[in-house]
Amino acid sequence: MNKDFHYFGTYSAAVLAGYGHEEALAIARSAFFVDLCTKPILNSVGAPVEAATTMLAMEMADAGSDALSQQDITRIWASFHFLPGDLYSKRAGCGKKYMQKYHLICKPNGDLLVDTVNQVKGKGLEATGLAMHVLADTWAHQNFAGTPSRVINDTNYYFYEILPDGSERPIRFGSNPAAPDNVEKGTYTNSVHQSSETSIMNLGHGRAGHLPDYSFIRYKYLPAWADYEECIKDNQSDFMQAYCQMIYAMKYLRGETDTFEKETYDTEAIAPYKTKIEHILSKRQTDACEDWKDFGENLTNQSIPDFSSADYQEEYRNAPEDKKDDTPMGRFVIAALAQKSMVTNRIYKSGNLLAGISGDYKKWGTKGIRAYLKLVEAAQKGGQA
């Protein structure tokens, strides 16, 4: 998913969940900022770099294949873009090393999604936006893992688009990052094949290019981990599910329902707009920003300004030291630290060290990463340490 769904789409979902224009904007900004918040940005404003929710291409190219670098990558991508679906899934005949990777495969409706949504309840609009990004990505990025792994994330030549009339055509991939995806010709860019298990080229859905991020496309392929079982990915349907689940989750976060249940979707809220939303999702385009923007503006009769990351950062940078945590970016940073901390902890507790070691603050005190002291301070303010 790209800016179209994470920013403009999330805005309209928030409105349908009952939020006002300004609140929906705050949620949408935070949801989209997950795709922008890199260590260099955090470093430039003096925020803890451990709150990074994504990486620059240059950062990834620079990352090593040593365990610590791999854990750093995994913490970011598994926490925010490829939330593991089942950390305790079973598969016969596979060793521990393989299963550690297998357990990080992203799926919708996992226990970690419930934890993610529950964790942000009462934590503000930025935390809500961050959680909505994570939720939406569990649909788009399913079947890939947020850790560099060839045995999980690799793909091969078997890739076919299923066109609206039911016919099929092969999808051709090139590895020139400068070449734009061509929807009409069916040519897309993916990451270069690398036989190394831990190559950054084998992170997430890199080997499938941006196909998982386009709402219109239906395709079939062979996931590396699926034992030659063909996977048919219907993005239009998945994005609709994601949208309805976001509305349901945000209604829960607003206090309309008492619990957040898995596999529950608010189809009633979208009923009056279903045709319009289906039209946006099915339109053959790589950028649906304009359509989602129109839809959102028609819902509220308000203009949706484009998101300015610079303004977001500037407000944080200019705030006095004791007020930084009260800025939108300050609240985002705390929400990001909380999400990363929670997901790393769950992965670690499942006996999996791919995201690193998670220490319980009550037991170990501040022997962990110092940047997480900010999270401790925030929790202490809220009486949760």
Partner 1 sequence: MNIASRVIHIIIGLLIIAGAVIMMLLPEIGYLVIALVIAVSLLVSGIRSLVYYFSMSRHMVGGRDALYSGLVKVDFAILTLSLSDIPKIFVMLYLVAVFGMTGLLHVLRGLEARKKNAPSWYWRFFSGMIYLMVALFCLIFVKNTVVMVFAYSIGLIFMGAGKVASAFYRSKIVYIQ
From 20, 164, 175, 377, residue interacting with partner 1 (rule: CB under 8 A):
175
Which H helix or E strand runs over 114?
Answer: helix 111-120
Whichever of 151 and 163 has its CB closer to partner 1, that residue is 151
From 259, 305, 310, 367, residue interacting with partner 1 (rule: CB under 8 A):
310
Of 27, 153, 134, 147, residue with least CA distance to 81: 134
Q: Which of the stretches 146-154, 208-216, 300-308, 362-370 binds partner 1 when contact is defined by CB under 8 A?
A: 146-154
228 in contact with partner 1 (CB under 8 A): yes
Whichever of 57 and 271 has its CB closer to partner 1, that residue is 57
Return the structure tokens found at 153: 């994330």
Handedness of CA 112, 113, 114, 117 (dihedral sign): positive
Q: C-beta of 33: minimal distance to partner 1 in Å? A: 16
Q: Are 218 and 235 in contact (CB under 8 A)?
A: yes
Q: Which of the stretches 23-31, 126-134, 170-178, 241-249 binds partner 1 when contact is defined by CB under 8 A?
A: 170-178
From 16, 140, 224, 240, residue interacting with partner 1 (rule: CB under 8 A):
224
Whichever of 197 and 234 has its CB closer to partner 1, that residue is 197
Determine how β-strand 172-174 pairs with β-strand 168-170. Answer: unpaired
Q: C-beta of 76: minimal distance to partner 1 in Å? A: 15
7 in contact with partner 1 (CB under 8 A): no
Whichever of 56 and 385 has its CB closer to partner 1, that residue is 56
Residue type, 303: S
Return the structure tokens found at 106: 């992203």
Q: C-beta of 321: minimal distance to partner 1 in Å? A: 20
Return the structure tokens found at 226: 């699926």
Residues in 259-288 at the binding interface with partner 1, rule: CB under 8 A = none
Whichever of 117 and 201 has its CB closer to partner 1, that residue is 201
Largest Cα separation within the chain, whole Å, is 60
195 in contact with partner 1 (CB under 8 A): yes
380 in contact with partner 1 (CB under 8 A): no
**Per-residue DSSP letters for 41-89?**
HHHHHT--GGG-----HHHHHH--SSHHHHHHHHHHHHHHTS-BS-TT-
Q: Which of the stretches 137-145, 152-160, 287-295, 350-358 binds partner 1 when contact is defined by CB under 8 A?
A: 152-160
> Residue 167, SS3?
coil
Whichever of 80 and 221 has its CB closer to partner 1, that residue is 221
From 97, 274, 279, 323, residue interacting with partner 1 (rule: CB under 8 A):
97
Residues in 41-80 at the binding interface with partner 1, rule: CB under 8 A = 41, 43-44, 56, 58-59, 61-66, 69
Binding residue count for partner 1, defined by CB under 8 A: 40
Q: C-beta of 340: minimal distance to partner 1 in Å? A: 20
223 in contact with partner 1 (CB under 8 A): yes
Q: What are phi and psi of 170, to 5 degrees?
A: -65, 145
3-state helix, strand, coil in the chain (%, to 5): 55, 5, 40
Alpha-carbon distance of 379 to 385, in angstroms, equals 5
**Per-residue DSSP letters for 192-253?**
PP---TT-GGGSTTGGGTTGGG-TT-EEEE--TTSTT--EEEEHHHHHHHHHHHHHHHHHHH
Alpha-carbon distance of 350 to 373, in angstroms, equals 24
222 in contact with partner 1 (CB under 8 A): yes
Whichever of 226 and 357 has its CB closer to partner 1, that residue is 226
90 in contact with partner 1 (CB under 8 A): no
Instruction: Enumerate binding residues for partner 1 (CB under 8 A).
Output: 40-41, 43-44, 56, 58-59, 61-66, 69, 91, 93-95, 97-98, 101, 150-152, 154, 156, 175-178, 195, 197, 222-228, 310
